Amino acid sequence: MSENDLYIEGDPIRDEKAPEGPINERWDQRRFSAKLVNPANRRKLSVIIIGTGLAGASAAATMGEAGYNVTTFCYQDSPRRAHSIAAQGGINAAKNYRNDGDSIHRLFYDTVKGGDFRSRESNVYRLAQTSVEIIDQCVAQGVPFAREYGGLLDNRSFGGVQVSRTFYARGQTGQQLLIGAYQALERQIAAGSVQMHTRHEMLELIVSEGKARGVIVRDMLTGEIETHFADAVVLATGGYGNVFYLSTNAMGSNVTATWRAHRKGAHFANPCYTQIHPTCIPVSGDYQSKLTLMSESLRNDGRIWVPKEKGDKRDPRQIPEDERDYYLERKYPAFGNLVPRDIASRAAKNVCDEGRGVGPSGLGVYLDFADAIERMGEEAVEAKYGNLFDMYQRITGENPYEVPMRIYPAVHYTMGGLWVDYDLQSSIPGLFVTGEANFSDHGANRLGASALMQGLADGYFVLPNTINDYLSQGPFEKMDESHPDAQEAKEQVTSRIDKLLSIQGSRTVDSFHKELGSIMWEYCGMERTEEGLRKAIELIRDLRAEFWRDVKVLGTNEELNQALEKAGRVVDFLELGELMCIDALHRRESCGGHFRAESQTEDGEALRHDDEFAYVAAWEFGGDDSKPVLHKENLEYEYVEMKQRSYK
């Protein structure tokens, strides 16, 4: 144990569940060694699933079908609205339908490398293995993937990968996959095997005798605080990108479920790993509520540039060719505009920091299709990108066929999340975490078209084959609301709500959230420094104190109260933000989406330190007035050789 001013280093941890042996046999082995539950006994075993996105709906549908007694909750008015729905690009699968050299091993290799050697080999290999079954499953549900004229499924290459393994449904792959999972879930609801509670938000986890045994939820229409028990709890609640206030996440996406579980003992792993997407529509004013992503396929034909001169406010069409800086093509001649997301994002930030950004705010770079239109013709460009151009025009009011688009990076995905073992079980027995809410498969950076793959792999195939090992010990002792552990959890919720409603200060919830977001973006965004992170931690602590002194939440608990909902979420973001900064501060290396200015090569590229940091940082909650405890899980690479990335 060692301690510094920000955290305590605790004992190392390891994943006890991943089998040894050849990597391609480990998943088989685990499925064999995991204890089964007799079908006749499943009805007696109850599972609570929080969240109905890809990872939650697929798990609920599958476990309901298997005969477990499933109860699900979502904060939206229908499970179909979870934010998985917004994923545009596609879903990877190692089908090798193109006969272009793809394989499970190659998808595994690309994912480990793309994650910058900060993910587990066993997990990633299983993800690649499962990818194949996902496509079969979704097609069987009626997901209308894009097809060729011969009637077979179309594939495309995505995110600079050299094989075509991405399945897609126009620009709405996430929507179609989610609707597939949603329909499977609704079928189980109709069959009575799944109880669905919409407009219910989980506000606390019930832990009893060291096991996760239930949740406290708030009925968002009536304000009733309800207690639900189960033999196991699954969190499929997505990522925490909204800690930045502005992100591509939905307005309601939040960290509350996972953060509350963290406070009850679940380790939070690698919270600082955030993916920042380079092609988003820039902020237009301080009223901005969210950022809209445009598929990065735009970078295949668009050229990114800024003026060479600082503060050049001319109409972009008036700026002559030799006064433009096509900075990605200049710095990365081999990959040009197609460099990975984190590099493209940071490069855009750097030119804007130099004062060469464009647009009213100076936070934007041009993405210019003039050359493409000249080369391919406007019609061909429209056929390829028409819907994206329309979207851009609708939001900005500018015509991208005539004026170059303006883009800027935005927070898109969080690779960090609750720590889980190979079974997707967190450090609290009986608490399982799936999808973006866990940390498991993407390491320090996620490949394009892999988020949907992971959510569905976890929900359809992994969890339903691992959770039985735990459930086979059940059913556990019956609990009711009078149980002290349940009462304590409920009391935590009600007192928090009462406090939020009683402060009646002078600032709105959103104003705090915006301020937190700008701190996070400034100091824990695309480029992080020791000095900045230390400052951010101070700022966040002050802001948190001010929040509890001066927030203004109107209305009562006993009604639909959207300000109260938001306030509860911001409370947790204010705590998470600090942990993210501590994690970013302790990781004195640059890897994947985490770039520490102190750790770069001479020409400004990310520099990893595998000798010191090839581990998962799993944080244990230390208490409100104590420091968090760091547990390191060592990462070993037997099948992929660790290399520094280079895109020169």
Task: Write out the catalytic residue numbers.
Answer: 341
Q: Is the dihedral of CA 183, 187, 188, 190 positive or negative?
A: positive
**φ, ψ dihedrals at 233, nearest 5°:** -125, 135
Determine which helix (DSSP H) or strand (DSSP E) holds 268, and give its type and residue range: strand 268-269
One-letter amino acid identity for 235? L
Of 149 and 311, the one with the shorter C-beta distance to another protein is 149
Of 394 and 478, the one with the shorter C-beta distance to another protein is 394
Of 533 and 551, the one with the shorter C-beta distance to another protein is 551
Using alpha carbons only, what angle is made at residue 177 by residues 426 and 272, rounded to the nearest 5 degrees?
40
Q: Is the dihedral of CA 579, 271, 227, 509 positive or negative?
A: positive
Which residues are registered as beta bridge partners of 594?
A: 591
Quote the CA–CA distance of 110 and 394 in Å, as a whole number. Answer: 36
Of 199 and 528, the one with the shorter C-beta distance to another protein is 199
Of 151 and 623, the one with the shorter C-beta distance to another protein is 151
Determine which helix (DSSP H) or strand (DSSP E) holds 211, and give its type and residue range: strand 211-219
- DSSP state for residue 322 in the 8-state scheme: G
Strand duo 615-620 + 91-92: pairing? unpaired
- List, in sequence order, every beta strand (DSSP E) within 298-384: 303-307, 324-325, 365-368
Q: Which of 494, 501, 491, 488 is nearest to 567 (CA)?
A: 501
Quote the CA–CA distance of 591 and 608 in Å, as a whole number. Answer: 5
Quote the CA–CA distance of 176 and 199 in Å, as a whole number. Answer: 22
The least distance separating another protein from the CB of residue 508, rounded to whole angstroms, comes to 5
Of 287 and 480, the one with the shorter C-beta distance to another protein is 287
Q: For 418-445, give one letter per residue: b (16+ CB within 10 A) or e.
A: bbbbbbbbbbbbbbbbbbbbbbbbbbbb
The least distance separating another protein from the CB of residue 461, rounded to whole angstroms, comes to 7
Of 84 and 599, the one with the shorter C-beta distance to another protein is 84
The least distance separating another protein from the CB of residue 228, rounded to whole angstroms, comes to 19
Quote the CA–CA distance of 255 and 567 in Å, as a whole number. Answer: 12
The least distance separating another protein from the CB of residue 151, rounded to whole angstroms, comes to 3
The least distance separating another protein from the CB of residue 298, rounded to whole angstroms, comes to 16
The least distance separating another protein from the CB of residue 490, rounded to whole angstroms, comes to 24
Determine which helix (DSSP H) or strand (DSSP E) holds 232, and give its type and residue range: strand 232-235
Quote the CA–CA distance of 523 and 578 in Å, as a whole number. Answer: 11
What is the C-alpha end-to-end distance of the chain, expressed in Å? 41
The least distance separating another protein from the CB of residue 359, rounded to whole angstroms, comes to 11
SS (H, E, C) 314-344: CCHHHCCHHHEECHHHHHCCCCHHHCCHHHH
The least distance separating another protein from the CB of residue 155, rounded to whole angstroms, comes to 11
Number of neighbours of residue 163 by Cβ within 10 angstroms: 20
Quote the CA–CA distance of 241 and 219 in Å, as a whole number. Answer: 24
Of 166 and 599, the one with the shorter C-beta distance to another protein is 166
Question: What size, in residues, is the chain?
Answer: 648
Of 112 and 407, the one with the shorter C-beta distance to another protein is 407
**And the tokens for 446?**
């996620």
Quote the CA–CA distance of 234 and 73 in Å, as a whole number. Answer: 11
The least distance separating another protein from the CB of residue 249, rounded to whole angstroms, comes to 8
The least distance separating another protein from the CB of residue 73, rounded to whole angstroms, comes to 14
Quote the CA–CA distance of 62 and 415 in Å, as a whole number. Answer: 25
Of 140 and 383, the one with the shorter C-beta distance to another protein is 140
The least distance separating another protein from the CB of residue 370, rounded to whole angstroms, comes to 24
Contact call for residues 300 and 371 (beta carbons, < 8 A): no
Of 103 and 141, the one with the shorter C-beta distance to another protein is 141
Determine which helix (DSSP H) or strand (DSSP E) holds 452, and give its type and residue range: helix 451-456
Which residues are registered as beta bridge partners of 413?
A: 275
Helix (H, G, I), strand (E, B) or coil at 401: coil
Quote the CA–CA distance of 533 and 585 in Å, as a whole number. Answer: 6
Helix (H, G, I), strand (E, B) or coil at 420: coil
Contact call for residues 551 and 238 (beta carbons, < 8 A): no
Contact call for residues 143 and 180 (beta carbons, < 8 A): yes
